Structure 1
Amino acid sequence: MSALDTATPALTVIVVSADSGPSLRDCVNSVLACSTPLELLLIDNKSGDGVPQAIARAREKDQRLKVIYNHANLGFGPAINRAVAQAHGQALLILNPDCLLEESALQRLLAVLATEPKVGVIGAVVCDAKGVPDPASYRRDPVMARALSTLFKRNDEGVNIDGSMPDHVVEAEAISGAVMLMPRRVFEWLNGFDEKYFLHCEDLDICRRARDGGWRVLLAGDVRVLHGKGGSSRHRPVFVSYHKHRGMWRWFRKFDPAAQRPHVAATVWLGLWAHFLLQIPGQWYRMAKR
């Protein structure tokens, strides 16, 4: 790669780590194995596992990689916003630290960005090790009526879109934040992620705001990206669950028309936090068995 490519990449890949474990090395290696001109910003939310520092030492001669250390765990969205402030690329690829990116997937995502009009956000189908797609790759806004349909498995329209994942580019209301490609100008027009989310639902929020602003949210259904289960989620399940429920409450208050009715909002608040509390014993039990 030339010095010019290193200084002015077309693409900035951003990975946020927070005690993400060994999978972070695989993620970084997969990105840097791509021949596409890019820079990789690894922004660390005060991990204690030493992995980001080890990656920085091992890759100290690779000018494509920059490791940014935060003084505390700022949360996902705030870390992304700080990384973008130091980014050079005109396209931003936000990638979870437990995702493996292949060159073919990256090239396809960039091709969609280059050819589709009025693109705000592009997602991919994220899959587990067995190739099973995560339903969160292709979903609708989680307004209360849909959330209840999903929770109680009713035949009404739910949050997840039923049926097999598409194998082509389709319009979506929301895609998974595990793999999210955006033009930098759109990200900046939206003022980045809402920093009042700490972890979870900020991807739903930015997809909704992009659509409200007239930008398109697309799922590249023919792109598959391997997505493991994050290290942070495994060893801090209650912490992650708390912020997930907190994020769900914020999204509901911002976007769901039902939130304008005080009695409905109160019921949703009670239901969310009751659900959170009921999950804790099982989370502690599973941690104790490891």
Structure 2
Amino acid sequence: MIDAVVVAHGQADVTSRAARSIRSAGVVVQSLTIVDTAGDPALTDLADDATLGATVLPCPDNPGYGAAADAGVDLGQAPLVLVTNADVWVHPGALDELARALEEAPDAACAGPLLLNTDGSPQDSAFAFPGLGQAVSDLLPVPARVRGSRLNGRLWSAGPARDVGYVLGAFMLIRRRAYELVGGFSSVYWMYAEEVDLCRRFWDDGWRVRYVPVAQVTHIRAATTSARDIEMLPQLYRSRARWYRRHSARPMASAAIGLMWLGLGVRARLPGPRREAYAAAQAALNLD
């Protein structure tokens, strides 16, 4: 039995498609909660759709992805909890495969699928925890093959199910007991890095994290945030800096944040529409 929590910020049509794909995925979904962080009347109307069987939980003040997910999780009691973005659709059998992986590994806290682009190509779905390379790879003119490699924490998408540092927060099947033992998502991450933090705490508490590529989910990459990409850049780097401070030794955290500060400073001085956003992101590194 699974409680499903869909965190949505507007986009009622996309959210409805995600919810329907969850309902038709094959596994028994005990409850389906849509957490509305935008106060969108169109999302509220989804609660009236008897074929969907969803509860809509309004959070119009937008507490952030992790806090919104926590609010939805608190409404259920099933032993497994699906936390997902609204910009996904679940392929047949995917939830069954993830649930089976957790059943076969009782010391695993969560499992994530292979995420696909809308054209069927694979997305980065499994990761090692951030090191120095990940701190600056997005800011340097490195080849795409390097940015998508282990040097940047990306783990090969194909192959058998295996342990990984963390899976992408866009779609995570989580064991409720493990979730509750570590305290759920941390509200200090308003957006970005909340799943990295959660999985780090799972590992620190003795749990494993599984990547199950036979389970497949299509993900419209950054469908909610792409329209505000420049606005969200400072939040991205603030969350990254916060993660390093909380989960790395002080020398590593200082080095990683220092490299990000230098890289963002250089990008802020180059011509282009993101100059101000890079400058704001550089300043955001020092907000904690």
Structure 1 residues 83 and 147, CA, compared in 2 at 3 Å: closer, same or farther? Answer: same
Aligned partner of residue 273 in structure 2, secondary structure: helix
Listed one character per residue, the Cα deviations across residues 38-76 of structure 1 (whole Å, up to 9, x for unaligned) are 11110111244x33123223x1x3584111001311100
Aligned partner of residue 247 in structure 1, secondary structure: helix
Cα displacement (A) at 1:167:
3.0
Cα displacement (A) at 1:196:
0.5
TM-score, length of structure 2 as denominator length: 0.83
Structure 1 residues 275 and 114, CA, compared in 2 at 3 Å: closer, same or farther? Answer: farther
Structure 1 residues 261 and 13, CA, compared in 2 at 3 Å: closer, same or farther? Answer: closer
RMSD across aligned positions (CA): 2.8
Aligned partner of residue 77 in structure 2, secondary structure: coil
CA contact (8 A) 1:141 1:159 kept: no
CA contact (8 A) 2:88 2:220 kept: yes
Listed one character per residue, the Cα deviations across residues 135-154 of structure 1 (whole Å, up to 9, x for unaligned) are 2x111111224544675456
Identity of aligned residues (%): 22
Amino acid in the other structure paired with 2:43: P
Cα displacement (A) at 1:204:
0.8
Alignment: residue pair count: 269
Amino acid in the other structure paired with 1:31: I
CA contact (8 A) 2:135 2:259 kept: no
Report the Cα distance in structure 2 between the residues aligned to 1:266 and 1:76, rounded to whole angstroms: 23
Structure 1 residues 237 and 102, CA, compared in 2 at 3 Å: closer, same or farther? Answer: same
CA contact (8 A) 2:78 2:176 kept: yes
Report the Cα distance in structure 2 between the residues aligned to 1:280 and 1:62, rounded to whole angstroms: 48
- For structure 1, list consecutive stretches of 5 or more residues without a partner in the other structure: 1-9, 285-290
The within-5 A match list for 1:73-152 is 73-135=62-124, 137-148=125-136, 151=140, 152=142
Report the Cα distance in structure 1 between the residues aligned to 2:271 and 2:214, rounded to whole angstroms: 35
Report the Cα distance in structure 1 between the residues aligned to 2:150 and 2:98, rounded to whole angstroms: 29
Structure 1 residues 234 and 189, CA, compared in 2 at 3 Å: closer, same or farther? Answer: same
TM-score, length of structure 1 as denominator length: 0.82
Report the Cα distance in structure 2 between the residues aligned to 1:73 and 1:16, rounded to whole angstroms: 10
Listed one character per residue, the Cα deviations across residues 194-220 of structure 1 (whole Å, up to 9, x for unaligned) are 110011111111111111111111100
The more displaced of 14-23 and 93-102 is: 14-23
Report the Cα distance in structure 1 between the residues aligned to 2:81 and 2:180, rounded to whole angstroms: 11
- For structure 2, list consecutive stretches of 5 or more residues without a partner in the other structure: 277-288
